[in-house]
Chain A
Amino acid sequence: MAVAWEPIRMIEALRRVRREAATYRGLWSWIATVDHKRIGIMYGVAAFAFFLAGGIEALLIRLQLARPGGDVVSPEVYNQLFTMHGTTMIFLVVMPLASAFFNLVVPLQIGARDVAFPRLNAFSFWVFLVGALFLHSSILAGGAPNAGWFGYAPLTELPYNPGHGIDFWALGLQIVGISSMASAFNFIVTILNLRAPGMTLFRMPVFTWMTLVTSFLIILAMPVIAVALFQLEFDRLFGANFFNPTKGGTPLLWQHLFWIFGHPEVYILILPAMGIVSEVLPTFSQKPLFGYPFVIFSGIAIAFMSFGVWAHHMYTTGLGPVANSAFGVGTILIAVPTGVKIFNWLATLWGGNVSLRTPLLFAVGFVAMFVIGGLTGVTHSMVPSDYQQQDTYYVVAHFHQVLFGGALFALFAGVYYWFPKFSGRLLDEKLGQLHFWLMLIGFNLTFQPMMILGMLGMPRRIYTYPEGMGWDQWNLLATSGAFVIALSVLVFMVNVVRSLRRAERAGADPWDGRTLEWSIPSPPPPYNFARIPVVRARDDFWHRKYMEDAQGRPVPVVAGGSGEVESGAPEEEIHMPSPSFFPLITAIGFPIIATGFVFAEYAVVAAGAVVLLYGLYGWALEPATE
């Protein structure tokens, strides 16, 4: 091992970094943090809190529909519930959970000390949090939004929706969108510029690759919804005329803009999940990912194609046979790269040495359920057949297969996989398996009946239905399944709390990992890598532990390879960013401005702008390191 560096100077540098990281203590240390790991944890905790809120909304929806003529909630409350459920789960749960993993994992996988712009990263989190809270504050201000997560105009226009709910929705999503944009730029720069020496693009772990692709999708898709939301608010606040047909506006314009954003959004939600699965399956099979370049390129292909299929959400709006045929064929073809990924995951498991631990179970659950989502997607990409299925429970079943059976299962795989890295403790295996099986069973009980409900002609977004439609028992079954899912989430929470208190210590590399994050201690020190590693191969850490013999079988490297980081050039000094309050102050400006617009109090808008500018100036003038 390297002896060229000077141990004493090194230790001195590390001590100084630890001292700096402890400038603030307790709660303040979290509020002022710019450490990607702490920001990642905050993203995760906040997203989980919103997951519980969205889950309770889902349970109320299912209670209302458990039997015909349900009267658990009023029609108005029901409409608010499904609007908030969809909006919350997409923007405040799956996206920030993915952000949590971007933050926690990507800098470690590429051998970096932090992200490229640490304060911008803190800003992303705080803007997300205040935006989400602003959206939820509509409940206190006279009612949550009630026009669906898709908010089709002209139902969202003032004549049909005079309350403030829609304003909170539009401006809240606008704020959350700022967070996504900032974070996406940050991760693109981080991944392109901060990779350790030797980590070429085609040595990058797949999760990092999918983070990069997702970030590009975000910066291309988010501005479209931002434009649409601004147009909607101009209609509502200033009497503009984009979507209101009584004054000559075009309601379909909203649908085009919304889905030009909305379909890439689906892949923004699923590509990080695919990245996680592409990390978990190889690790627990002790085999490299099968067809690495094909998995990467199909991810990129999916991202490109996702911008050309938006009108499959609009087959029944009367676009005409030519447009419907073009979008129909485009949508069918997106199944090809998706299929390639699934086949490569199967080939990764095949011939492996498969350990059935909880992360692997969730990853396998992802493959098993996501394939149903993909195939049901093919059935209703068939345009004339979709004339029947559009806006029915068949579609509800389909996208829950993708976003719950897919994305959420993979995110839970990620939680079980990386939890020991960041807490230093393993999650309990028995409770983990119980969680998995309950969730898998509950999921199938809830969403497979919905496929049948759709075929039996049950539309979405109805607050009730009469007897005699043949829907009763399927709805009851779906409701019972939802409570099994709720139980599984409780098991998960118990597991986390218990494991944090008294579980076994994880060690640096509990799963015999393949990528760089497993080469450093658990939890990682603030500076991550004492010395920046030099990367020589894809799955670099694995290759430090094992050599391949002539038949391609791995043989352990004899002299203590595991857990040790090789030296690069000697470190002069470890440069770490200082904590800062200004990202939070800047973020707080946004909801104040938005509140001013909702209630047409322009003094409040000005006050918010002052806060925002104060934060920005403070940020700009603050020295980066003390």
Chain B
Amino acid sequence: MKRSFSIRWPLFGLALLVGLLAVACETSTPQNTFAPAGDVADKQRQLFLMAMWPAVAILVGVEVVLVLSLILFRRRRGRQLPKQVHGNTPLEVAWTLAPLLLLLGLAVPMVALIFELGRNPKAEALPIRVIGHQWVWEFQYPTFADGQGRPLTIIGTPENPPELHIPAGREIALEITSADVIHSFWVPRLGGKLDAIPGRVNRMWIVVNEPGVYPGQCAEFCGLLHADMRLKVVVHETEADFEGWVREMLSSGSGGGR
């Protein structure tokens, strides 16, 4: 049997991956789901890790047994034909029940977090309407109205994406919908996505603890310039900063409706 394609090739690939991983850690990753800046994203990351580590353990176990069985039981000249083992019922029961219990164990925190993230926003939360358009986001602040009683409205262009300003530490209640096709509102460091569906309002809450600027983008394919449908969330350190921004927008008139 030919052995020229030895273990060296896979090892080379692995080394390359590790090297690239090292390089990647140096660069900035503004949409990294593993660098949460708010409660929601952090809980989602923890749940992911809770499922990931057992998965990694099982993966390593399966691959080791697989490779070992190729090495240990490789066909050699003069080897007897193997014993014809047809199965083993206790073993089957064991490897049915063990994963079942493990998975049901994972289901408990999963369901708990689904209901926690799915609760209604608190009464003191700041409401913001998010409206998807092909291929730009619109944000409305119903609690801040201009002289004519229209809500403070921010809208961008595909070339110049809009900024969503919020205060740190306060719960934000997002009401997400669409004016045309289905979009999905996503700012990875702040939390998972929620679809913007025409004719329907989806609600989600977020809390951001760290002030800063967080990029996000539409996550549901929405046509030609889907890739350009971006946004930035600007998180102000204090309520006062945020209210200053609101006053500035209302007085400059730049925040008016479309």
The chain A residues found within 8 Å of chain B, CB to CB, are 75-76, 79, 147-148, 152, 154-155, 160-161, 245-246, 250-252, 285-288, 290-294, 316-318, 320-321, 324-325, 328-329, 332-333, 335-336, 339-340, 342-344, 346-347, 349-356, 364, 367-368, 371-372, 375-376, 378-379, 382-392, 429-430, 433-434, 437, 440-441, 444-445, 448-449, 452, 455-465, 468-470, 472-474, 477, 546, 548, 551-554
Q: Which of B80, B110, B197 contacts A251 (CB 8 A)?
A: B197
Shortest distance between the CB of A372 and any CB in chain B (Å): 6
Contacts of B189 in A (CB 8 A): 457
Contact: B82 with A287, CB < 8 Å?
yes
Give how many A-B residue pairs fall within 8 Å (CB-CB). Answer: 317
Contact: A457 with B47, CB < 8 Å?
no
Contact: A433 with B2, CB < 8 Å?
yes
Using A356-B1, A356-B70, A387-B191 as known contacts, say yes or no to A469 and B181 having CB atoms under 8 A apart: no
Shortest distance between the CB of B66 and any CB in chain A (Å): 6
Residue interface mask B65-86, A partner, CB < 8 A = 1? 1100110011100011111111
Residue interface mask B14-33, A partner, CB < 8 A = 1? 00110011011001111111
Contact: B195 with A371, CB < 8 Å?
no
Contact: A155 with B221, CB < 8 Å?
yes
B107 to A, closest residue via Cβ? A329
The chain B residues found within 8 Å of chain A, CB to CB, are 1-2, 5, 9-10, 13, 16-17, 20-21, 23-24, 27-34, 41, 43-45, 47-48, 50-52, 55-56, 58-59, 62-63, 65-66, 69-70, 73-75, 79-88, 91-92, 95-96, 99-100, 103-104, 106-107, 110-111, 113-115, 117-118, 134, 180-182, 184, 186, 188-189, 191-195, 197-200, 202-203, 217-227
Some 30 contacts from A to B, beta carbons below 8 A apart, are: A285-B82, A290-B85, A318-B197, A325-B111, A328-B111, A329-B111, A336-B103, A347-B91, A350-B65, A353-B75, A371-B58, A371-B63, A378-B106, A379-B55, A387-B194, A391-B219, A433-B5, A441-B13, A449-B17, A455-B33, A455-B34, A456-B31, A457-B29, A457-B32, A459-B186, A462-B226, A463-B226, A470-B24, A552-B84, A553-B81
Give complex CA distance A291, B87 in Å: 4
Contact: A461 with B221, CB < 8 Å?
yes
Contacts of A79 in B (CB 8 A): 221, 223-224, 226
Contacts of A285 in B (CB 8 A): 73, 82
Shortest distance between the CB of B163 and any CB in chain A (Å): 16
B99 to A, closest residue via Cβ? A339
Using A154-B182, A291-B87, A321-B115 as known contacts, say yes or no to A462 and B27 having CB atoms under 8 A apart: no
Q: Which of B17, B85, B103 contacts A287 (CB 8 A)?
A: B85
Q: Which of A367, A384, A440 contacts B43 (CB 8 A)?
A: A384
Shortest distance between the CB of B174 and any CB in chain A (Å): 11
Give complex CA distance A222, B27 in Å: 46
Give complex CA distance A335, B102 in Å: 11
Closest 10 CB pairs of A and B: A387-B192, A457-B31, A462-B227, A470-B29, A321-B118, A318-B202, A245-B199, A457-B188, A375-B55, A291-B87
Contact: B47 with A368, CB < 8 Å?
no
Shortest distance between the CB of A103 and any CB in chain B (Å): 30
Give complex CA distance A407, B56 in Å: 22
Using A329-B107, A333-B100 as known contacts, say yes or no to A384 and B75 having CB atoms under 8 A apart: no
Shortest distance between the CB of A438 and any CB in chain B (Å): 9
B193 to A, closest residue via Cβ? A316
Contact: B5 with A245, CB < 8 Å?
no
Q: Which of A152, A371, A546 contacts B81 (CB 8 A)?
A: A546
Contact: A382 with B73, CB < 8 Å?
no
Contact: A378 with B95, CB < 8 Å?
no
Contact: B198 with A251, CB < 8 Å?
yes
Contacts of A347 in B (CB 8 A): 85, 87-88, 91
Give complex CA distance A468, B32 in Å: 12
Give complex CA distance A352, B72 in Å: 9
Using A385-B44, A552-B84 as known contacts, say yes or no to A354 and B69 having CB atoms under 8 A apart: yes
Contact: B193 with A390, CB < 8 Å?
yes
Contacts of A336 in B (CB 8 A): 96, 99-100, 103
Shortest distance between the CB of A297 and any CB in chain B (Å): 10
Shortest distance between the CB of A555 and any CB in chain B (Å): 8
Contact: B24 with A160, CB < 8 Å?
no
Give complex CA distance A290, B23 in Å: 44
Contact: B44 with A384, CB < 8 Å?
yes
Q: Identify the interface centre among A318, A333, A349, A551: most chain B CB within 10 Å of its CB.
A: A318
Give complex CA distance A318, B192 in Å: 12
Give complex CA distance A553, B50 in Å: 45
Contact: A352 with B103, CB < 8 Å?
no
Q: Which of A250, A382, A440 contacts B48 (CB 8 A)?
A: A382
Contact: A444 with B13, CB < 8 Å?
yes
B194 to A, closest residue via Cβ? A316
Using A340-B95, A368-B66 as known contacts, say yes or no to A351 and B29 having CB atoms under 8 A apart: no
Using A160-B223, A434-B5 as known contacts, say yes or no to A388 and B192 having CB atoms under 8 A apart: yes
Q: Which of B33, B191, B217 contacts A456 (CB 8 A)?
A: B33
A314 to B, closest residue via Cβ? B195
Give complex CA distance A429, B114 in Å: 52
